Amino acid sequence: MAQQPLYAGFDLGTTNSAVAVFDGQHTQVIRNAAGGAVTPSVVRIDRAGRVTVGQRARRFLEDDPDNTATEWKRLMGTGKAVAFPAAGVSKRPEELSAEILKALRADVADQLGTAVERAVISVPALFELPQSAATSEAARLAGFARVELLQEPIASALAAGWRADDDGTASWLVYDLGGGTFDASLLETRDGLLRVVAHDGDNFLGGRDFDWAITEHLAAELARQTGVQLERKDPSHAGALRLLRLAAEDAKIELSRSPTAQVTLARPLVVGDRELDVDLALSRATVEALTAPLIERSLAVCLRLLAGNGLGPGRLARVVLVGGPTLSPGLRAQVQARLEATAADGLDPMTLVAQGAALYAATAGLDGRAAPTAAPQGKKVWLQYPPVSSDLTPHVVGRVVGADPPARLRLERADGGWQSPDAAIGPDGGFVTMVSLVPRAASTFRLVATAADGAAIAVDPATITIVAGLTIADPPLSRTIGVALASDHVQVYFERGAPLPTRRSFTHTTVETIAAGNPDSVLRIPIVQGEFEQAHLCRLVGTLEVRGVDVKTTVPTGATVEVTIELDRAGCLAARAHVPAIDQVFEQVAHLLVPDAAPAALDAALADQRRHLMQVRTDAFRHGLRELIDKLGAVEGLLASAERDIDAAHGGDADAGQKARRTLIEIDAVLAEADLARSWPELDGEAHEAAIIATGAVAAFGSDAERKLLDEVLAALARARRERDLAELGRQLRLVRRLSSAAWNRNPDAWTYHLEDAASAIHEARDLPAARKLVDAGRVAVAAGDTDAVRRAVKQLWALLPVDAAARKKGFDSGVR
Amino acid sequence: MLLALALRARAALWRARAADRRRFVPLTLLLAFIEGGFVASVLSLALTLLLLGAPITALVLLALIAWLVVPHWLIDALAIPRGWHRAAWHLARFDPRGDAATWPSLVAARAAARTGAPSAAVAWITGRLPARLDGAGVVVHGLLAHGAGDRGDARRLLHSLTALQAPGVDAQVIASEWLALDAAERGAWRELVDGIATWPATPLRYLLEAVALRRLALPRAPGAASRWLRWLVAPARLATWRYLRAAPAAAPAATTTATAAPVEPASADARVAAATALVAAAQAPSPERAAAAVAAWRDVLDDPAWLPAQLARAAALGLDPTAAVRTVGAARDGVIARLVQLTVASRAPLPAGDVGVAAAVRAGARARILDGLEVGFDRLHARVATDGGELAMIDEWREFLAVRDGYEAAVAPGGVELERVAFPHADTALGEWAVALWNRRRQHHASHAITSWLFARAREVGDAAAVEHHGRNRALAIPEA
Amino acid sequence: MLGVAVTATTREIEREAQKLLAMLALGVGDAGTYPSAAGPRPRTAEAVRAAAAQLRDPRQRLLAELTAGAQPTAAPASAAPTAAAPGWADALRRTGWGPR
C-alpha cells in the first residue's frame, strides 16, 4: 500500500512565513531548524554572496540593514529590485520569496524526508494578477513543479472550520491583520461547503503601521528630550528610524505580556553629527491609544463589509483572527466587542494560514510527493474522487486501463461498516459509483474487482482514502477581470468570485484602423483588474496587442475582434484575440508590472488632485450639494495620508510610494463620482439657458422645419432633465445648440460677431501672423458688407485656434469597444 | 498616318460605348465590324509578304501590328492569364479600350491578382498610381485585395466607386464586370438587376444582366435569341457556356432569405416562454427574434405579480430582505442587459414604450448605440487632429467606408430621431477629416466623397447648418490632377 | 447544463457537478455533451465549474432560475440564402479574375 499522502501548504507572509503539512488525518506545522513555527521573511546576502534567511538573517536587520531585506512582499509584481551592495547584487522580490520557500521546503525535507514537488501557496485576498504571477514565479524558482494559489482568508477559514460541528448555514468573518495588509472576508458555510461571500480590505494597513505609529511616538518623545526630530522623508534619518522601529517592535511584543516596557538601545542613535541615547518608557495604555485608530480603521472595513451584505454586528457565528498583531489582548477585545462575535479559540493566528493551505492542497488533490515510480501491482485504474469531501456520499468515477477490464467493481470500507453495490464496468472501462463516508473522519476503501466468472482481479491502487470535512469547491477569483473599452468602461470577463480556472470570450468592435505594414499602427486591448466601472481606475494587468506589421491586410475600424481570456489557478493569464475579417489570431500579451511609483510623479498627482478637490468643493458649495460636501471630507483625510506616504517615498521607502499610489487612485474614484454629481446642476443650467436662446433664435431666423424640429428636441431635452439622464441631456443640448447656431448664423450680423469673438482669442492661434491677416481681411469684408468673405475668414481663423477637446487618453488607449 | 487615325477612331468608339449604355448594341456591332476589318487587313498584308518571299519581314510586321492593333487580345489571352503584370501594363498603353493614364494599372492589377498578388507586384503597380487616390486607384487596390484572397475587402472597395463623384470610366468598367461576376457567383441576382442603372455596360455585364433578369423571372427579361447574342459578344465564352446552358427557365425568387419562424410559446408558462425566446434569439440572431424576446420578457417582468414572487423565492434561498430586493433587481437588470445586447447586435428596431421592460431596453440600446458611435468618432477626430496620424490613402478610404457603413447600420434601428442625436458627432469628425484630406493631403476625390455623404445625412436629419456647409463644400470643383 | 432541476438543493448540485467533473476528467460515459434548447451542446469542465459556482451563490442562482428551462424551438433555418438562388460557382476565377 502506498505511503500516506503529503499535502503541503505555504504561507508566504510579509514579515513571517510558515509551512504546514496534512496527511489526510492531521495537520502539522513544520518547525524550522531553529525550532520556530514561523520563519521571518528576511533575506541577507553577505559580501561573499552567501544567502542567509529567517531568524539568522533577521539578526542583521539592526547591524547590517543595507544587505538585509524584509517586507518585499508588497513589492511583488512591481519589478523593483532590492539591492545588496556588499555582494554587489540585486534581487527581484520573487527571487527573495524563492529563498524563503527554498528554506521552508528544506525544513519539510529534513523532518519528513520528502522534498515536496507540488504545493499550495497562500496569497492575500486582494492580490492582483502581476502579484500572483510573481508568487508563482517564486515557487518555480524554489524548485516546485506545480503550485496553486489560495487566498489567505479562505485558508484561515478552512483551518478554523476544519471538522467544525455546525452543519447548517453560518456566517464567519476572517479578520486577517498581517504585517503589511489587512483583509476582511465574509464566508458562509452551508452543508459543509465553504463559500466566500465577499472580501474587503486595505492593502496597506498592517502590523507595520502599528510599529510606525509607535515609532513616530517614540521619535516625538525623543525630539522632546533631545530636540532632534527624526523625519521619514529625510534619507539620512532612515538608519536611526529603522533601529527605533525594531526597538518599538520588541517593546510591543513585551507589552502583550506586561503593562509597561522600557525602550532602550544598546548603542546611541547617530543622527548627523549627534549621538542620541534612547531610553524611553512605553505603557500598554499608550500603545493601545496609538493603535486604536488603526484598529478602528480595520473595523470600519469589517462593518462596511457586513453592511454591504445585509448583515449587522451580532449576526456572525464566529470571527477568525489571523496574523501576529491579533495576538494583542487589546486588539482581540476591541474586535470582539465591536463585531459582537466571539473569536474561535485554540487557533494559532501565526500558522493558521499555512495549515489551511495544506488542507486545501488535499481538497485540490495536490499531493506533494513526486509521482511514484513503482510498477503497478495489478490492473491500473484511473480514479477521480474528492480526497476531502463535505458530502458524505460523494461519487467515485474510475476507468480501468488496458484490455480485458474486470466485469464488476465495488468499494468496501476498511472498517467493514459499508460496501458499495457492484458497479458495472462499461465498454470504455469506465464506471461510476457512490461511497458512504464516516462523518468527520477519514474513510479508507478497498477496491474489489471481479471478472465475469467471479474471479478476483488485483487492481492498482488497491485502496483510496476520502476525508469528510469542510471543503471549498474551487478557489475564487479575488478581483474582477475585464477588458478596458475605448469609452473607458470595462467589459467584465470574470466577476470577483468566479471559480478558477476559467475562460471566457466576448466579441468587441474596433474603433480604429489597423493599417497593414504600418509599425505605428497598434490596436491595444487592455486587460484590467478591479471593481471600478471606469477602466482608468482599475489596474492594467496586461495588454493584448494587434500590430499593423503583423496583420495580413488592413483591418478597418468597426471590425469585430473575438477576445478570449483564460486564467489558471496559479494566477497566470493568457489572452487571445481572433480577428475574423483576416482570420488571424494574436496572442502577444504585454504583461505589465505594477506601475512604478516615482515620488516626483506622485507629487504632481497629489497637487493635481488638490486642485481638483478645490474645484469640486467650490462647486459643491455653490450648488449646495450637502451630500457631496460630506463625501469630500473623506477625501481630505485620504489626501493627508497620501502626503505622509509620499514624504516617506521621498525618503527612499518604495513601499510607501506604492501605498500612496493606491490612495491616489481611491481619491480619483471619489472625485470622479463627485464630478458626475456636480456636473448635473451645471449642465442643467446650461440646458435651460440654451433652450431660451434657441427658442429666440429659431423664432427669428429659423425655417418652419427648424421650428418643428426645435419643438421635438426641446421635448426630448425636458425628458432628459426630468429623468436626470446626464448623457442624454448632453446629447440633446448639443442638438439645441446646433439648431440655435444654424438659425443665428442666418443673421447677417452673426459672422461679424464670430469674427470679433475669434479675434479676442487670437493669441492662442497656431500661426499668429496668418491669424492677424485673417482678422484684418475679415474686418475689411465687414466694412464692405461681404458676408461670404467674412464667413470664409472666420472659418479659416477657427482652423488656427486650438481645439478644446484634447484627445482623452483614458481607458488605457483601448482600441476596442 | 491613316492607321493612327483609324486606331484613334476605334478607341473613341470603345470609350463611347462604355460611357453610355444606351448606345451599347449599335456601337458593339460597329466595333465588331472595325475589329474584323483590322484583322482581315493585317492578315492579308502578312500573307502577301509571305507569298512575296519575305517571311522575316512578314513576321516583324505581324508582331508590330499585333502590338499596335490588337494589344487587347494579347492582354486578355496572354498577359492576364499568365499573370504578367509588367507586360500587361505596357501593352495596355496601346489598348483601345481604356485611357493610357489609368488602364495600364487596372490591367496590371488584374494580372497580378491572377498570381495571388505577390508583394513585389503590388509594390510595382501601386508605385505607378498617382498620389491622389481616384477611382482607378480604388479599383486597383480592390483587385489586388481579391488576388490576396480577401473577397470582402475587394467587394467593398469596388462598390465604393459609387461614392465618388467622378470615378472614371475605366475604373467603372472593371468594377462593373467584377461586381457582376461576384454577384452571379453568390446568386445575388437582385444586386445585378439593381445595378443596371448605375454601372456602365460591358459585353460581360450585358450578358450577366440578361441572366439575372431571367433568373428573377422579371417581365423585362430578354428572350433566348438576345441572350445567345449577348453570350456571343461577351468574352470567356467557354467559361460562360456551361452556366448559360444550365440556366433554368425560371428560378425561385432570389431574395427569399431564411425567414425566421416566429417563436411559438412552447409552454403556457410565460417565464419559460420568455427564457425560450431569449435562447432562440441568442442562437440565431435576427431582428424578429430579438423583438419577440423583448415582448416575451415584457409579459413576465412587467407583470405586477412577478416582484413579490421573486422576493419570496429569494427569501427561500436564504437571502435577507435587503439583499433580496437588491438581488431581484439585479436579476431583472441582468435579463434587460441581455435583451439590450440582443437588440443592438441583431439591429432590431428599438422597442416602443415609455415604461417597464420596453423602455429600459430602448434606453439601454439607444445609449449603447450612441456610445459606440461617439467613441468611434472621437477616436477618428483625435487621429485626424494628430500630426503623423495619417494612414496610407487607401486605408483612409477603407476607414471611411467602414465608418459610413457602421454608422448607417447603427442608426437604422432608431430611425431619424436616433440619427439626429448621432449626427453631430459624425459631422464634427468626418467634416474635419474631409477638410484635412482636401487641404493637407490634396486628396480631393476622397474628401469630396465624404462631404457628399455628410451632405446627404444632414439632409436626412434636417440639420440646416450642416446642409448649407457641406452643400457649399460639395459644390467645389475637383481640381485636375 | 448540470442536468439538475430548478429546485435542486445545494448538495444535489455539488454532487452532480463533482460526478460530471470526474467523468469529464476520465472521459467516462457521455458527460461530454448535454441537451439544450438548441440541441446537444459540448460540456466542458470550465462550464460545469462556472455553472456550479453560479448556483452556489443565491444571488446568481435567482438569475439562473429566471432564464432556465428554455424549451427547444424549431431549428433555425441556417441554410445560406444562396441555396435558394443557385449562383455561378467560381465564375470570377473561370472568367479570368482573381487568383487562379
- Chain A residue numbers with beta carbons less than 8 Å from the beta carbon of C49 are 473-474, 499, 501-502
CB A625 within 8 A of CB A617: no
Instruction: Evaluate the CA torsion angle C90, C94, C98, C100 in order and state its sign.
Output: positive
Q: What is the pLDDT of residue B96?
A: 85
Is the interface score ipTM higher than 0.90? no
Give yes or no for a cis peptide into A461 (omega within 30° of 0).
yes
**What is the topology classification, in CATH, of domain A481-591?**
Substrate Binding Domain Of DNAk; Chain A, domain 1 (2.60.34)
Question: Chains touching chain B at 3 or more Cβ pairs under 8 angstroms?
Answer: A, C
The percent of residues above 90 in pLDDT, for chain B, comes to: 38
Any chain C CB within 8 A of the CB of A398?
yes
Q: Which three cell numbers stand for residue A363?
A: 481538497
Taking the CA atoms of residue B376, residue B379, residue B384 and residue B385 in that order, the dihedral angle to the nearest 10 degrees is 140
CA A703 to chain centre: 58
B403: nearest CB among A489, A521, A557: A557
Average pLDDT of the segment spanning B397-411: 94
Computed over every residue of chain B, the mean pLDDT equals 86
pLDDT of residue A804 exceeding 50: no
Residue A646 CB contacts under 8 Å (≥ 6 apart), including other chains: A599, A602, A603, A606, A656, A657, A660
Prior bond of A501 cis (ω within 30°): yes
At B247 the pLDDT is 55
Is A510 in a helix, a strand, or coil? strand
pLDDT value at residue B249? 46
What pLDDT shows up at residue B331? 87
CATH of the structural domain A207-293, one choice from 3.30.230.70, 3.90.640.10, 2.60.120.260, 3.90.110.10: 3.90.640.10
Q: Any residues with CB less than 8 A from the CB of B301 and at least 6 apart, and which?
A: B332, B335, B336, B356, B357
Checking if the pLDDT of A803 tops 60, the result is no
The number of beta carbons lying within 10 Å of the beta carbon of residue A679 is 16
Q: Which residue has the higher pLDDT, C34 or B303?
A: B303
- Owner of C-alpha cell 415609455: B354
Q: What is the pLDDT of residues A708-741, one digit of tens each?
A: 889 988 988 888 888 888 888 888 888 888 888 8
Res. B164 pLDDT band, cuts 50 70 90: very high
Nearest CB among A509, A516, A713 relative to B372 is that of A509
* pLDDT the model gives residue A153: 83
Amino acid present at A369 = R
- Between chains, do C59 and B149 touch, taking CB under 8 Å as contact? no
Task: Considering only the beta carbons, identify the residue of B148, B367, B395 that sits closest to A513.
Answer: B395
Q: Into which CATH architecture does domain A7-205+317-362 fall? A: 2-Layer Sandwich (3.30)
Cβ–Cβ < 8 Å for A406, A449:
yes
B256 has pLDDT over 60: no
Which residues of chain B does A558 touch, with a Cβ-Cβ cutoff of 8 Å?
Answer: 376, 402-403, 405-406
Residues of chain B contacting residue C73, judged by C-beta atoms under 8 Å apart: 261, 263-264, 266, 276, 279-280
Q: A456-460, A575-579, A746-750: which has the highest mean pLDDT? A: A575-579
Q: Are A578 and A561 in contact (CB under 8 A)?
A: yes
Assess whether pLDDT exceeds 90 at residue A658: no
Distances (CA, A) of B479 to A576, B138, B162, B449: 47, 18, 19, 14
DSSP 8-state class, residue A477: P
The CA dihedral of B148, B149, B155, B156, to the nearest 10 degrees, is: -70
Cβ atoms within 10 Å, residue C87: 20
Mean pLDDT on A529-552: 84
Higher-pLDDT residue of B68, B133: B133
What percentage of chain B has pLDDT greater than the value 70? 95
How many whole angstroms separate alpha carbon A535 and alpha carbon A814? 10
- CB-based contact, C18 to chain A, within 8 Å: yes
Cα A300–chain centre separation: 19
Contact C87 B185 (CB under 8 A): yes
Residue, of A43 and B22, whose pLDDT is higher: A43
Backbone angles phi, psi at A502, to 5 degrees: -150, 165
3-state secondary structure A436-461: CCCCCCEEEEEEEEECCCCCEECEEC
Question: SS3 of B308, please?
Answer: helix
Sheet holding A68-70: strands in order across? A51-53, A42-45, A68-70
Q: Which three cell numbers stand for residue A106?
A: 528544506
Mean pLDDT of A42-56: 90
Angstroms from A537 CA to nearest CA on chain B: 19
| Start-to-end CA span in chain A (Å) | 58
When scoring B78, B174, B185, B272 by the number of chain C Cβ atoms within 10 A, the one with the most, hence best to mutate, is: B185
On the question of pLDDT at A403 being above 50, the answer is yes
Q: Is the pLDDT of residue A177 over 50?
A: yes
A785-790: long-range pairs with CB below 8 Å, 24+: A787/A748, A787/A751, A790/A751, A790/A752, A790/A755
Among A75-84, A162-171, A190-199, the minimum mean pLDDT is found in A162-171
Residues 6+ apart with CB under 8 A from C70: B272, B275, B276, B278, B279, B280, C36, C37
Q: Which of A391, A395, A503 has the CB atom closest to C46's CB atom?
A: A503
Count CA within 13 A, CB hemisphere, residue A624: 0
Q: Is A707 exposed, middle or buried (0-12, 13-18, 19+ CB in 10 A)?
A: middle
> How high does pLDDT run on average in chain A?
83
In chain A, the percentage of residues whose pLDDT exceeds 70 is 94
Residue A263 has pLDDT above 90, yes or no: no
Q: How many CB atoms lie within 10 A of CB A226?
A: 16
Name the residue among B67, B155, B77 with its Cα closest to residue B111.
B77
Q: Give the contacts of B51 (CB within 8 A, at least 6 positions apart).
A: none
pLDDT, average across residues A364-373: 73
Which residue among A556, A702, A803 places its CB closest to the CB of B399? A556
Dist. CA A805–CA A816, nearest whole Å: 21
Segment B417-427 shows an average pLDDT of 91
Cβ atoms of A481 and A129 within 8 Å: the answer is yes
Q: Over range A241-248, report the average pLDDT.
A: 84
Partners of A808 on chain B (C-beta within 8 Å) are 378, 382
Q: Which of A355, A445, A333, A456 lies closest to A395, judged by CA? A: A445
Domain extents in chain B: 2-246, 270-348, 370-474
CA nearest to B468 within chain A = A742
Question: Would an 8 Å CB–CB cutoff place C70 in contact with chain A?
Answer: no
The SS3 assignment for A271 reads strand
Buried b (16+ CB within 10 A) or exposed e, A489-511: bbbbbbbbbbbbbbbbeeebbbb
pLDDT of residue B384: 87
Alpha carbon distance A5, A621 (integer Å): 67
Parse chain C into domains and list their residue ranges. 10-71
CB–CB contact C28 A428 (8 Å): yes
Nearest-Cα residue of chain A relative to residue C47:
A502
Question: Is the model's pLDDT at A811 over the cut of 80?
Answer: no
Among A397, A399, A426, whose Cβ lies nearest the Cβ of C19?
A397
- The CATH architecture to which A378-461 belongs is Sandwich (2.60)
The H or E element that residue A802 is part of is: none
Which residues does A816 contact at the CB level (< 8 Å), separation at least 6?
Answer: A483, A485, A486, A508, A509, A510, A511, A523, A525, A561, A563
A33-37, B8-12, B62-66, B278-282: segment of lowest average pLDDT: B62-66
Taking CA–CA distances from A720, the nearest residue in chain B reads B363
Which of these, A230, A223, A213, A282, lies nearest to A251 by C-alpha position? A282
In this structure, of A173-182, A227-236, A580-589, B339-348, the range with the lowest mean pLDDT score is A227-236
Contact (CB<8Å) C88/B181: yes
- Whether C10 sits inside 8 A of A397 (CB atoms) is no
pLDDT one-digit tens code per residue, A267-278: 788 877 888 888
Residue A236 DSSP symbol: G
Pairwise pLDDT comparison (A357 vs A502), residue with the higher score: A357
Please tell me which of the candidates C63, C79, C85 has its beta carbon nearest to residue B331: C63
- The nearest CA of chain B is from the CA of A791 a distance in Å of 11
Residue A649: the pLDDT is: 79
Q: Is residue C78 over pLDDT 70?
A: no
Contacts of A739 by beta carbon, 8 Å cutoff, 6+ apart: A694, A697, A698, A702, A706, A709, A710, A713, B464
**Alpha-carbon distance B49 to A512, whole Å?**
65
pLDDT tens column, A456-490:
888 888 888 888 877 876 777 878 899 998 888 88
- Highest-scoring range by mean pLDDT, A184-193, A289-298, B221-230: A289-298
Position A244 scores a pLDDT of: 86
Per-residue pLDDT at A372 = 58
Phi and psi at B200, nearest 5°, equal -70, 155
pLDDT at A632 over 90: no
Residue B115 has pLDDT above 90, yes or no: yes
Residue type at B94 in one-letter notation? F
Is residue A180 pLDDT above 90, yes or no? no
pLDDT digits 0-9 by tens, B145-158: 999 988 999 999 99
| Cell numbers placing A487 | 469609452
Residue C76 has pLDDT above 60, yes or no: no
Chain B residue numbers with beta carbons less than 8 Å from the beta carbon of A703 are: 464
Q: In a mutagenesis test of the C interface, which of A383, A393, A395, A569 is the best target, namely the one with the most C β-carbons within 10 Å?
A: A395
Measured in whole angstroms, how far is the alpha carbon of residue A686 from the centre of its chain?
40
Write down which chains contact chain C via at least 3 CB pairs under 8 A.
A, B
Counted residue by residue, chain A has a size of: 817
Chain A within 8 Å of C64 (Cβ-Cβ)?
Answer: no
Q: Is the pLDDT of residue A673 over 90?
A: no
Which string of DSSP letters, residue by residue, matches B209-261? HHHHHHHTT-TT---HHHHHHHHHHSS-HHHHHHHHHH--SSPPPTT---PPP
pLDDT score recorded for residue A809: 37
B251 pLDDT exceeds 50? no
Kindly tell me if the per-residue pLDDT of A594 is higher than 70. no
Q: Which residue has the cell 466694412?
A: A783
Alpha carbons B71 and B202: distance in angstroms, whole number: 18
pLDDT, tens digit, 9 for 90 and up, residues A299-310: 988 988 888 777
Mean pLDDT confidence for B437-459: 94
pLDDT digits (tens, 9 = 90+) for A199-239: 777 767 888 888 888 998 988 888 888 888 888 777 778 78
Q: Give the separation between CA A603 and CA A600, rounded to whole angstroms.
A: 5
Identify residue B35 by its one-letter amino acid code: E
A315, A518, A554, best to mutate vs chain B, most B CBs in 10 Å:
A554
Least confident of A40-44, A768-772, B65-69: B65-69
Instruction: Please report which confidence band the pLDDT of residue C79 belongs to, taking 50, 70 and 90 as the band edges.
Output: very low
C-beta of residue A437 within 8 angstroms of C-beta of residue A394: yes
Integer Cα distance of A563 and A481 in angstroms: 13
Selecting from A428, A431, A499 the residue whose C-beta is nearest the C-beta of C50 gives: A499
Tens of pLDDT along B43-79? 888 889 889 888 888 888 888 877 777 888 889 889 9
| pLDDT for B220 beyond 60 | yes
Shortest Cα distance, chain B CAs vs residue C7, angstroms: 10
> Are A329 and A288 within 8 A, CB to CB?
no
Grid cell in block for residue B178: 467584377
Q: What is the pLDDT of residue A630?
A: 78
Q: Select the more confidently predicted residue: A73 or A121.
A: A121
